[in-house]
Each structure stands twice: as structure tokens, then as C-alpha cells.
Amino acid sequence: MPIIETHVLEGYSDDEKARLSRALTDAALSVVPAKPDAITVMIHEMPRSHYMRGGTHRDPAPARPDAAATVRAYLAAMEARDLDTAKSMLGDGFVMNFPAAPGMSALEELIAWSKPRYAFVKKAYDKVEAFQQGETSVVYTIGTLFGEWLDGTAFDGIRFIDRFELRDGRIVRQDVWNDMAEVKAQA
């Protein structure tokens, strides 16, 4: 079964090295038909003093932020209507696409668009999946929506999937699919 060895400069945290090990395991699983526990990942740390590029000692690049954690923090800020915090997680060219809505690039547009639809909405997560496509981090959140319609009637159990793209640790795209219109039509 696969044995993956990689070398990194010292300076990455244990959490960052664990994230790297999981990512390397997942990469191997995408090609090799093995059980996860049959894949061995070994990370060798190199002291900075033993590494030079261009005749100069180098420091390691900072690790990318955990994309799934960034998305969860963004969604929590949105749910709390902490728009300043949510905006701080957005990158240049940010766009969000919701069912039956034009592409929006400002969080205030989303708030205005949703205002005549429901009093509030929250999410219950079944799972969060994250992976890397080149320089873009992709995160899916999957679960159900619950909240209250404008007339005060509660709703819950509405399926949703959100897909996010992040570059350099910032969210640049959000695509949303849900059954809200279908459920509301039946209410």
C-alpha cells in the first residue's frame, strides 16, 4: 500500500501537519483503491538552517487557512447578521448565486433579496466537505434549513447545499441550492 513521504520546513503547527497528512491520504485514495488505514504518510521536518534556495535561507510559507473553518465562520457571522465579520472573509470579485436570484456581490443585496421571503433562516449541518482544485479551495455544506416564514409559521427540514470557492483564504464564490420555494409553495 502507498507510503507517502514529504519534507517541510520546520515551523508548521501540529494541526497544519495533520491537515497536510489528511490531504495527502485523500489524494492517494482518489487514485489507489485502498483503505485509509493502509496509507502511510510521513512528514519530515527540515530545520530552516538546512535549507537554502538561491543561496538564501528561507522561512516556510504560512499555511493556508482551513477552508472549511473559514466557511463555517462566515456562515455563523451571516446567521448572526455580523456583516462586518462576514465581509472580512470575502475576496475580490465575490459573487453569490441563490435560486431565482440574480448574481449578487454585496451581502446587503442578499439581505434585501431575502427580506420579503422569510423572517429568519438558520442551518443545521449534516456535513461539510472540503478539497483543493489547484489554487482554489472548494467547500460544500450540506444540511437542512429551519426558521420562520413572514407570517410567523415555523419551517424546518428544508434541504440545502452550498458550494463555496476560496482563493488565498477568502471566499470568492457562493452557489446555493435548496428546496425552499417548493416547501413554501406546499405550505
The tens digit of pLDDT for each residue in 4-55 reads 999 999 999 999 999 999 999 999 998 999 999 999 999 999 998 888 889 9
CA distances from 37 to 22, 30, 40, 70 (A): 11, 14, 7, 28
- Mark out the alpha helices in the chain (DSSP H runs): 14-29, 67-79, 83-87, 107-114, 180-186
Residue 119: predicted pLDDT: 93
Alpha carbon distance 58, 135 (integer Å): 22
Compute the distance between CA of residue 91 and CA of residue 71 in angstroms, rounded to an integer: 13
Q: What is the pLDDT at residue 70?
A: 97
- Same structural domain for residues 50 and 115? no
- Give residue 22's domain range: 3-57
14 and 73 share one domain? no
Q: Which three cell numbers stand for residue 103?
A: 448574481
Same domain, 117 and 41: no
Residues 89 and 120 in one domain: yes
Residues 89 and 135 both lie in one domain:
yes
Checking if the pLDDT of 120 tops 90, the result is: yes
User: How far are the Cα atoms of 68, 71, 123, 141, 157 from residue 163, in angstroms, in the given order?
Assistant: 11, 10, 14, 7, 19
Domain stop point among 57, 77, 100: 57
The pLDDT, as a whole number, for residue 143 is 98
